[in-house]
Structure 1
Amino acid sequence: MNNSFSHVNIKLALAFILTSLLGLVASQFILFWNSEWLIHGYFRIPSLWMAFHLLILGFAVMVVMGAMYQMIPVVLLTPIWNERFGFYQYIITISGILILSIQLGLKPSIAFYGGAITIIGILMFLFQMYLTIKAQKQKNRITGLVVGALTFLFLTIIAGFLLAWNIGNGEILRHESIFSSHLLFGLTGWFTLLIIGFSYKLVPMFSLAHGFSMRWIKKAYFIYLLGMFFLILSFWMNDSTLSQIGWLLLWIGFTLFLLDIREMLAKRLRRQLDRSFRFALMAIYFGSVIHFLAFIVSLMKANAVIWGVLIYLYIMTWIIFSILGYLKKIVPVLWWTLKYDKKIGKEQVPALKDLINEKNDIIIYCSFLIGIVGTVIAFLTENILLMQVFQGLLFVSIVLYGITIIQILRK
C-alpha cells in the first residue's frame, strides 16, 4: 500500500485535473458555437448533449475524481488502495467519456457503447474508493458525506445507463422520471454532497480556522438526504406536494451547512483570504440562493423554461464555480509538492505563494459570472446576439482560466 502523500498519487490527481480542463474548454466552445439552439431552448439535441456531457463528465466528474485521489488521504487519513489501478481507471474513464460525447454528438443511437465504457471506468473508481474507505481505521463525520456522494454517483450512472438504453432502443420506459432522477442523483447527490464534505475540510484549511464545532453537519446531511428522497418520490408519483416538501428540505439542509461555514470563517486566523478561495465561498451563497429559489418555484408550479434556468445556474454558479475556486488553491499545492518536495534542504526552492499569481483572478471570475448572468438574460429575452456575446465571454474566461493553471505548471 502506498504512502498517503506519494508523488505517484499527485501525478494521478494532476492527470485527472489537467485533462478535465480540456473538457471544460471544449464544452464551452460547443455551447458558444450552438448559441442559436440555446436561445430557442432546444437543449435535447445531439450537439448540446455532447457539450453537456463534456462539461459534467469531461470536466466536473474528472476534476472531482482527481481531487478525491489527493484529498481522500488527507480528509480520511488513509492511503489510496492502489495507485496503479487508478491510472488504468483514468485511461478507461477518459476514453469512455470521449467516445460517449462524440457518439452523442454524431449518432446518439449508439451512445450506449460509449456509455458502457464510461460506466466501467466509474465503477473502477467506486471500487477504488470503496476499498480505500474500508481501510479507514476511524470513521469521521466527513466519511458519511463522502460515502453518500459515492452512492449517488453509482445511482447516477445506473440512471444514465437506462437513459442510453431508452435512446438506443427507442423505448419509453418512464423516460422523464429516469431523466429527472439522473439529474438529481448527479447534481444534488454526487456533486453537492461531495463539495459539502470537502468544504468542511478545505474551508478551515485555507482560512486557518480553529475552534469551530461543525454542529450542524449531521442534521444538514440527514435533512438533505430526506429532501432528495421526497423529490425522487415526486418524480415517480408525479406529486407536486412531495416535490415542494423535497425542495424545502434541501434548502434547509443546505442552509445548515452554510451556518457551519459561517462559523468557520468567523473563527479564522487568516483575515485576508485568497481571491480564488473567496469565489469558492461565494459559490456556497449562490448554492443557498438557488436552493431557496427552487423551493419558491416549486410552489408556483413554473414551466420547464424556469426549471431549465435554475438547473443551469445550479451547475454553473454552485458546482462549476466551487470547482474553479478550489482548483486554483489545490493545483499549486500538488505541483509544488511534486516538483520541489524532495529538493527542500538540498537547494533553494520557491515558496508556495510564488507559484500563485492572483492579479488576473478577479477579471477572470467576474467575466465568468457576467457570462452566466448574461446567458440567462439572453435566453429569457430570446436575443441571439446577446447569447453569442455572453457565451463568447464565457468561453474566453474559461480559456484564460486554463492559461493561469498552465502558468502554475511552468514555475
Structure 2
Amino acid sequence: MLPQQSGNETNIKLPFAFILTSLAALILSQLILIMNGALVSEGIFRIPPIWSSVHLLLLGWALMTAMGAMYQLVPVAFLTSIWSEKFGFCQFAVTALGIGLFSAMLYYNPGKAFLPGVLALLGIVMFLVQMGMTLKKQAKPNILTLFVGSSLVCLFATIFLGIAMAWSIKTGEGSQLYSPIFKSHLLLGTAGWFTLLIFGFSYKMVPMFSLAHGFGMKLAKVVFAVYAGGLVAMLLSFWTGNKFGLGFGLTLLAAGFLLFAWHIKHIIDKRIKKKLDKPFLFALIGIGFGAIIHLAALAVFLSGHFSAAIGPLLYLYIMLWIAMSILGYLYKIVPFLWWTHKYSGEIGKRAVPSLKDMVNDKAAPPLFILLAGGALLVFASILLKSAALFYIGQTAASLALLAISITIVLVLKK
C-alpha cells in the first residue's frame, strides 16, 4: 500500500523519462563489463572501459533512477509539489546527454571527458536546485530532510571531485592530489550519496510497504550522526594519510549501518502487514548484505589486506546493497506510479486492476537470487583471479538485471 493522492503528484512522464533511460544505461554497463571480464577478474579496474561501465551503472542507471524516483517520492514524503516540472524536463535532457557523452568519452578517450563531465555536472546541479527549491517549500523539516539533504550535498561533492579528476587527466595539473580525490570521489558517491539517500527513503518506504505503526524515530538521528561521522573520518584519513583515521572511519560506518539495520528491524516488528511483498523483502535483504559488507571492510582493514580487498567489496556494495535496494523499491514504486496515472480516476466507473495485478511478484525471488548469486561469483572470481568464474557470475547477474528491468518496463502495458 502507498499513500493516496495528495494533489502534489508529478507529471508521470518526468519520473518515467529518468527511469526508462536509466534501464538502457544499466544494460549497456553490463555489456561493457562482460566484454572486459578477463581484466576485471585479474583485479584490473582502473582502465577506460571499466570507468565507463561503472559510471553508466552509477550515474546512468542508479543516479537517473534515484532522480526519477525522487521526482515522485519527494512530493509524497514531504507533502509539497515539485518546484518546476518544466525545469525538470530540461534537467533530464541535460543530465542524460551529459552522462551519455561523459561515459562515451571515458571509454574512447578519457582525456576528452572534461567538457562532457561539465555538462553532466550542470544537469546534476540543476537537479540539486530543483530539490533545494522543493525542500525549501516544506512546512516542517524532519529527519528525512536531513538524510536526503546530506545525500544531495554528497552527490554534488562526488561530481565536483569527478570533474577535478577529469581536469587532472586532461592537463596533468594536480596529479599529486589525484589519489585522495579519487578515494573521496568513490566514498562520497557510494557511502555518501547513495547510502544516505537509501537510508532516508527507507525510513519512509519501509513503514509504508509494511504498514508499520507505533515505532520511534529518535534512533534515526543517532544513525545519521554515526554514519556521517564515519564519512568525515575517512575523508580526513584520505587527505592526511592517517591509517588510524581510516580504521576509525570504517568502524563508525559499520556501527552506523548496523544501527540502521537494527532500527529497520524494529520498524518491521511493528508492522500490521504480516506477509511482506517479495520484491520489498529483497530490498530488506539488501540491508543485510550492506551490513555484512561494512563489517567485512572493517575486518580486512584490521587484517592488513584492505587495499587488495576493497575493489571486490566495492563491487558487492554496488550490486548487493545499492542495486538490490533500488530494484526492490522500484518494483513497488513503478506499478504504483502507473496505476495511479492510468486507473485512479476510473475507480467506481469500471473494473480496474489492483496494484498486485500490475507486476508479477512471483517472478521476483528467482531473479533477485540470481542477481545475488552472480554477484558473489564475480566477487570470488576476482579473489581467485578466474576469468571463467567471472563470466559465469557476471552473465548471471546481467541476465537477472535485464529480466528485472523488462519486468518493470512491462508494467507500462498493464
Q: One fold, TM greater than 0.5? A: yes
Structure 1 residue 348 displacement after superposition: 2.2
- Counterpart selection for 2:387 from 384, 387, 402: 384
- Counterpart selection for 2:339 from 336, 340, 343: 336
- Counterpart selection for 2:280 from 252, 269, 277: 277
8 Å contact 2:313–2:379 — kept in the other structure? no
Identical residues among aligned pairs (%): 45
Matched, 1:155 2:194: no
- One-letter amino acid of the structure 2 residue matched with residue 90 of structure 1: F
Superposition pairs for residues 5-404 of structure 1, below 5 Å? 5=7, 8-171=10-173, 172-404=175-407
8 Å contact 1:28–1:395 — kept in the other structure? yes
Superposed CA offset, 1:244-296 (max 9, x none) = 11111111111221121011111101111111001000011111111111222
- One-letter amino acid of the structure 2 residue matched with residue 383 of structure 1: S
8 Å contact 2:9–2:72 — kept in the other structure? no
Write the distance in 2 (CA, Å) between the matches of 1:35 and 1:243. Answer: 30
Write the distance in 1 (CA, Å) between the matches of 2:390 and 2:381. Answer: 5
8 Å contact 1:80–1:128 — kept in the other structure? yes
8 Å contact 2:359–2:411 — kept in the other structure? yes
Superposed CA offset, 1:283-313 (max 9, x none) = 1111111111122222223152201111111
- One-letter amino acid of the structure 1 residue matched with residue 226 of structure 2: I
Structure 1 residue 35 displacement after superposition: 0.7
Secondary structure of residue in 2 paired with 1:360? helix
8 Å contact 1:57–1:97 — kept in the other structure? yes
8 Å contact 2:60–2:96 — kept in the other structure? yes
8 Å contact 2:9–2:76 — kept in the other structure? no
Instruction: Report the TM-score, using the length of structure 2 for normalisation.
Output: 0.96
Secondary structure of residue in 1 paired with 2:216? coil
Secondary structure of residue in 1 paired with 2:273? coil
Secondary structure of residue in 1 paired with 2:252? helix
Secondary structure of residue in 2 paired with 1:216? helix
> Unpaired segments of 5 or more residues in structure 1?
none
8 Å contact 1:375–1:386 — kept in the other structure? yes
Secondary structure of residue in 2 paired with 1:209? coil
Q: Over aligned residue pairs, what C-alpha RMSD do you find?
A: 1.3
Structure 1 residue 52 displacement after superposition: 0.6
Write the distance in 1 (CA, Å) between the matches of 2:298 and 2:205. Answer: 28
8 Å contact 1:215–1:260 — kept in the other structure? no
Q: Number of residue pairs matched? A: 409
> Alpha carbons of 1:351 and 1:338: their partners in 2 closer, same or farther (altered >3 Å)?
same
Instruction: Report the TM-score, using the length of structure 1 for normalisation.
Output: 0.97
Structure 1 residue 102 displacement after superposition: 0.5
Farther-moved stretch of structure 1 (401-410 vs 178-187): 401-410
8 Å contact 2:9–2:81 — kept in the other structure? no
Write the distance in 1 (CA, Å) between the matches of 2:23 and 2:355. Answer: 22
Superposed CA offset, 1:191-218 (max 9, x none) = 0000000000000000010101123101
Secondary structure of residue in 1 paired with 2:403? helix
Write the distance in 1 (CA, Å) between the matches of 2:176 and 2:159. Answer: 16
Structure 1 residue 154 displacement after superposition: 1.0
Structure 1 residue 405 displacement after superposition: 1.1
Write the distance in 1 (CA, Å) between the matches of 2:80 and 2:157. Answer: 25
- One-letter amino acid of the structure 2 residue matched with residue 55 of structure 1: L
Farther-moved stretch of structure 1 (9-18 vs 363-372): 9-18
Secondary structure of residue in 1 paired with 2:334? helix
Secondary structure of residue in 1 paired with 2:272? coil
8 Å contact 1:4–1:80 — kept in the other structure? no
> Alpha carbons of 1:21 and 1:359: their partners in 2 closer, same or farther (altered >3 Å)?
same
Secondary structure of residue in 2 paired with 1:403? helix
8 Å contact 2:42–2:386 — kept in the other structure? no
Write the distance in 2 (CA, Å) between the matches of 1:260 and 1:214. Answer: 8
Superposed CA offset, 1:302-336 (max 9, x none) = 15220111111111111111001111010000010
Secondary structure of residue in 2 paired with 1:174? helix
- One-letter amino acid of the structure 2 residue matched with residue 201 of structure 1: K
Secondary structure of residue in 2 paired with 1:130? helix
Write the distance in 2 (CA, Å) between the matches of 1:45 and 1:146. Answer: 32
Structure 1 residue 60 displacement after superposition: 0.5
- One-letter amino acid of the structure 1 residue matched with residue 231 of structure 2: M
Write the distance in 2 (CA, Å) between the matches of 1:300 and 1:112. Answer: 38
